[in-house]
Structure 1
C-alpha cells in the first residue's frame, strides 16, 4: 500500500525545486543525508507505527480521514466557510415575502418609490406594488407611463406589472391613439374607460386582445362601441367577471348572446339604458352564467317577465336585481316562479316605476325571498297596505325600504312595519299623503333610523319633528364587560342616529320644531326644507346649498337644502341670534332630566342652552333590542370583486365633533348617567319616566354608519337635490341627493323676503326620494368605474408624487 508523505517532506521538496541552480550542485551524499534527516524528523514527530509517506506533492489537498499521517488534523469544512450574516443589519436578513408584505402597507406611492430606490433587492420587491395601478390622473402622467412602456430595453418589464388601468379622469382626451401604447400590457385585470366617447372599436379591440386575464371592464357611456368590440371581448376575455356597458346603444342582441356563451364566469352585469336589448339577450345570461350576483336592467324598456323569472329561478346566488323603469314587468314575473323554492341570497330588489305590480307580486316576493334587506317600490302606485303588511314579515332582515309615491299607504301600514321591522335604517314615504303625525312618531322610535324622507307629506306638523328630536333619548340595553346584554337593565342613549331628514313641502312646520331637531341630532348632515314657508328667509340663504342649474327660476326661489357645513352654520346661527332666543324655551310638560339634555351655544352671548326632552319608554319599539347587527355572509364583498360602493362620509372622522356641543368632542358615546334625583321630593316619579339603575358604567361606541354595504336605493342622479324639487314636467325616476361638504352659498339668489310670497301647489312634482347610503346604483360600479379610491388594498393606491417609471 502506497504511503503519503508528510507535509514537512513536501515542503522541503518544494523548497529544493525553487532553489537557485548553484544550490543544486551539492554532492549526492549531502542530498541523501538531507533527505534522510528530514524523513527521520518527520517520523520522530508522528507515531512510531506511522508508515513512510509516499512522494506525492498533491496529497496535501486530499488528506485522508486518518490524521495519523500528519501532525495536522483534518480541517472542518464548516469552520472554513466564511459567513457575513452576522455582519448584516436585521432588515437585510428578512425574506422577500416579508419585505413585500411591509411595502404593501405603504399608502403613498412616493413612499414606495423611496423604498424602491434603496437597493436592487428592495426595488425588485416593490416595483410590482408601485406599478400595480399607475395613476393616470392627468395627461402628463399618462404620457410618462406610455413613454416608459415604449422603452426598448427597460430595467423592469413594467408592462407585466400593471393590473389596473383607469382612464376615466382623462375621458375627454382619450381616443384610439392614446390607448395604443397601453395595449402592450398583458396582465390587466380591471380596465375602466368610462365616458371615453372618443374611443372606437379599433382602440378597444387592441386593448382586449392581450388581456386574457381581464376580470372587469367598464365602457359605460362609450357610445361609439359596437358589437365588434363585444365579440372581441367574448373571444379573448373568457375570465371576465364584471361588465358595465351602460348606455352603449350600438351593441346588438346577437353579440350579447355570444358574450354570455363565452364568458360563463360573469358575476356582475350593468346594462342600464341599453334600450335596444330584448328578452333574448338577458335570458342568455340567465342560462349560461349561473353565478351572476348582481344585474342592473335600469331603463331596459324591452325586457319583460320571462328573463326576470329565469334570472331568479336559474341563478345560484343572485344577490341584487334592479329592474327600475322596466315597464313591461308585472306580477307574472314573480308569480311564475317555481313553488316551494326560496332564494336565500337575494338581498336587494329595485322595482322603481314598475307600475303594473300589485300586492300579489309583493306577497310572492316576500315568500320566496325571506332575507331581503333592501326593497324599492317607489312609484308602484297600485301598492296598498297589504303589501306593507307582507313586507313586515321580513322582520329584522329589512334595513331599507322605499315607498315614495305609493299614495294608498296609511298609518296602519306604518304601525305594523315599525312593530315588526325594528332595524330599519332608511325609509322614504314621500308623497304618501294619507300619513299623519302618528306614523312619524312611531318611525322616530326605530332605534337604528338614520335617514327618513317625508317630502310632501302635508299632514305632518311640528309634533312629528318633536318626535324625531326626542328619538335621541331612547333606551339602550346595558352590556357587561364581555359585551353580553344585561337583561332588564337599560339607559338612555346620548345621541340620535339621524343623519338625513327630508321635509320639503311639509308646509305646517315652524322654526321652533326645526331648532329642536337641529339641537337634538348632532349627527345630522342633511336637512331639506324646500318650500317650507318658515325657512324662506334671506338671513338663512348663506347656509343653503346652491340650486341645481336645471331648476327654473321659481324652483330656485323656494329651494332650501342644508348639508354638511351648512347644517353646522344653521345650528350656530339659530342658537346665537337674539331673534330666535324665545324659540329655545322648553315645551310645557317636559321633564328636566339630567340624562336627557344637550348643551349647545346660547342664543345671544354664547352661554349654553340646555334642551330638555323626555325619555322614551318601551312602548311599541322605542327600546333598542340590544342585539348587535348581524352581518350575513352576503353582506361582505367577495375577494376580487371590489364592488364596494363609495359612500358619502360623515363630517370628518368624528361625526359629533364641531357641532357646538358643550365639552370636548369624543369618539365614543359618554357613559350613561346615574339615576337622577326626583326634583319633587314629595311627589313620586310619573309612571312613564323609567328608572335608570345605578350600575357600572360602560362606554359604548357610537353606531357608525357602515360604508361597506351596497347602495340600497338611489336610482338616478338628477341634480344636487332633485328629490326635494324636480323640474316641472313628468317625473323621470327616483332621484337621489349627495351629502354635501362645505358648499358655496348662493348669496345673490333672487329670493324675496319671508312672508312676501306663498308656496304654490304647482312648485314642481317631488320625486320623493332620500339619498341612498352611497352614490346611486346606476352610476359606475367601483371596479368598473372606480376612481383613485377604488382599490380595496390601500397599498395599491398611487399618489401623485411617484414617477411613471424608474
Structure 2
C-alpha cells in the first residue's frame, strides 16, 4: 500500500503538486489541499456507483474518478439490465491496460462487436465473466484467443451459441487455469482443443454438456495433469467408468469431482480411489478400444511403465506404442521384455475433498467404501438418489473421513437409524458435520434425531422433508438442544374430519307444499 505520510509534513502542511500548502479549516477546496495522486488513491476504494457520483462534482474529480488505475476490477452484475454494448466499449477506452478483472454476468445485451473493441484495448485482462451473455457467439472466442494471451479465468456459462469451434479458437489462451463452459453446445472436439492448448488448466466446469463423453475426459487427463476441479454434472450417459480410469492415472491431484447424472458404477469409484486392479482397468479401457476401432478412431491412453513413468500410448497397437514405421516384430520383442512391460495402473485421486455422484443409481457400498477408506480428506459427499447405498457406507465414512462436513443422503431408501448413529458417533460427527440432508428416507425415525442431538454439536442445517416416521415432537426436541440449527421439514396437513350436515329440504324456503 502507498505510504500517504510522504504527502504530509510534520507541521501539518500538505505537499501538493510540488508545493507546500498549509491546511486550515477555512480552506474550502480539497483539490488545492491534497495532491491528485492521493485523491485518485482514495477513489480507488469506492464502488462503481459512488465513483460515478464523485465524477459529477467537478472536472478535476471527473478526471480522478475515471483514471485508469481506478478501473482495474469492474463488476456490472447489479446493472446487467442496463448494460449496452456502448458501455463495454467506453469501459475499454477508459481503463485500457489497467483493467484486470471484468464481470459482465447476466448482461444479455452485450454483443460480439463490443467484446471485439474490448479485447483490442484491454490486452492485460486476466479474469473475465461472460456467463449469461446469450448474444455472444464463437466470434467472441476468436477475439479472446487472438488478443488476450494473459487471460487466466473465463466463464462462458449459459452462452449456448458457443460450440466446439469457439473452444478451438479459445485454445490459444494458453494461460487459462479456470474455464466454465456449462450449458454451452460443446463436445469432445472442443474439449480436446482446450486440453491440448491450455495445459495449465486447473478448474474446468462443463455442467449440462451432454455431447461430452469419456473420450473428451481422456484428453483432459492426458494433457492437464494439474487439474484440481472437474464438474461434469448432467453430462449424461457418455461419461462412464472409462473416464474415471483416465482421471485416476492423469490427474492424481484432483480435489473436486462432480459427476452427478453420469453413467458411473463401483468400478469407476474404485479407479478414483486407486483400488481398481490393472486387469479391471484394462478391461474397461479395452471395451472403449474395441468400440473406437469399430469407428476407426485411434485410442490414446496414459499408461504407467514399470519404472513409474507415464507415457501416452496407442491402445490399438500390439504393445500400446505409437509406431509409424510399422515394425511389428520389434514391437513384439519389446513387449516380451519384462523391464519395459506396460501396465495400466490407476494411481487414484486420494486428495479428493468433494465428490458428487447424485443419481448414479448403479453405485453401491462397494465403490463408496473404497472412496471412504482411501480419500480421508473428503469434506463433501453427495449421494442423492443412490438407492443402493446402505448403513455400511455411513459406517465407513464414520471411521475413515474425519473432515466430512456436508453429506447428502436424499432418497437413500435403505439408510436407517443405525447408520445415522454410526455417523453421528464417528470421527466427523461431533466436531465437523455441519450440513446433513436425509429427506425422503422412509426408514428414519426420531431415534436418528436423538443421535444427532447427542453428538453433532456443529450441525447447522438438517433436511427432513418427507421422512414419514419422523414426528414434530422429535424435531422440537432437537431444536431445544440446538436453537441455531435450521431444520427443513414439511408435514402434510391432516385430513379434516367429515362434517355432518342436517338433512336439507329439497324445495325452496319460499315455497309452500300444497
Structure 2 length normalisation: TM-score? Answer: 0.65
Contact 2:433–2:459 at 8 Å: present in 1 too? yes
Shift in alpha-carbon separation, 1:203–1:393, aligned structure 2, 3 A:
closer
Q: Post-superposition shift, 1:156? A: 7.0
Q: Post-superposition shift, 1:212? A: 1.2
Shift in alpha-carbon separation, 1:409–1:351, aligned structure 2, 3 A:
closer
**1:303 counterpart (205, 209, 212):** 212
Q: Post-superposition shift, 1:414? A: 5.3
Q: Deviations over 1:465-507 (max 9, x none)?
A: 3334434898xxxxxxxxxxxxxxxxxxxx4322111221222
Q: Which residue of structure 1 aligns with residue 182 of structure 2?
A: 272
3-state secondary structure, aligned to 2:171: helix
Cα distance in structure 2, aligned partners of 1:347 and 1:412: 21
Contact 1:149–1:182 at 8 Å: present in 2 too? no
Contact 2:142–2:166 at 8 Å: present in 1 too? yes
Cα distance in structure 1, aligned partners of 2:470 and 2:31: 60
Q: Deviations over 1:493-548 (max 9, x none)?
A: xx4322111221222333354144235323111111111124565x99xxxxxxxx
Q: Which residue of structure 1 aligns with residue 167 of structure 2?
A: 256
Q: Deviations over 1:382-415 (max 9, x none)?
A: xxxxxxxxx9986963433344444455556555
**Structure 2 gaps, min length 5:** 1-5, 16-29, 277-344, 498-514
Contact 1:505–1:532 at 8 Å: present in 2 too? yes
Q: Which residue of structure 1 aligns with residue 439 of structure 2?
A: 504
Q: Post-superposition shift, 1:243? A: 1.5
Structure 1 length normalisation: TM-score? Answer: 0.43
Shift in alpha-carbon separation, 1:753–1:413, aligned structure 2, 3 A:
same
**1:131 counterpart (21, 35, 44):** 44
Q: Which residue of structure 2 aligns with residue 347 of structure 1?
A: 255
Q: Which residue of structure 2 aligns with residue 457 of structure 1?
A: 412
Larger radius of gyration: 1
Please give the residue correspondences for 1:479-498 in structure 2 after superposition, counting only pairs within 5 Å. Answer: 495-498=430-433
**2:463 counterpart (528, 535, 541):** 528
Cα distance in structure 1, aligned partners of 2:495 and 2:417: 19
Please give the residue correspondences for 1:709-720 in structure 2 after superposition, counting only pairs within 5 Å. Answer: none
Cα distance in structure 1, aligned partners of 2:373 and 2:64: 67
Q: Post-superposition shift, 1:174? A: 1.6
3-state secondary structure, aligned to 1:452: strand
Q: Which residue of structure 2 aligns with residue 283 of structure 1?
A: 192
Q: Deviations over 1:610-658 (max 9, x none)?
A: xxxxxxxxxxxxxxxxxxxxxxxxxxxxxxxxxxxxxxxxxxxxxxxxx
The Cα RMSD (Å) is 4.5
Contact 2:273–2:370 at 8 Å: present in 1 too? no
3-state secondary structure, aligned to 1:274: coil
Contact 2:389–2:415 at 8 Å: present in 1 too? yes
Cα distance in structure 2, aligned partners of 1:353 and 1:417: 18
Cα distance in structure 2, aligned partners of 1:88 and 1:146: 29
Q: Which residue of structure 2 aligns with residue 243 of structure 1?
A: 154
Q: Post-superposition shift, 1:254? A: 3.5
Q: Post-superposition shift, 1:322? A: 2.7
Please give the residue correspondences for 1:651-690 in structure 2 after superposition, counting only pairs within 5 Å. Answer: 659=482
The structure carrying a bigger helix percent of its residues is 2
Q: Which residue of structure 2 aligns with residue 206 of structure 1?
A: 117
Cα distance in structure 2, aligned partners of 1:125 and 1:166: 24
Cα distance in structure 1, aligned partners of 2:117 and 2:388: 58
Q: Post-superposition shift, 1:439? A: 4.2
**Structure 1 gaps, min length 5:** 1-84, 95-115, 370-390, 475-494, 541-566, 576-599, 601-658, 662-740, 757-806
Cα distance in structure 1, aligned partners of 2:216 and 2:369: 36
Contact 1:196–1:221 at 8 Å: present in 2 too? yes
Cα distance in structure 2, aligned partners of 1:742 and 1:361: 35
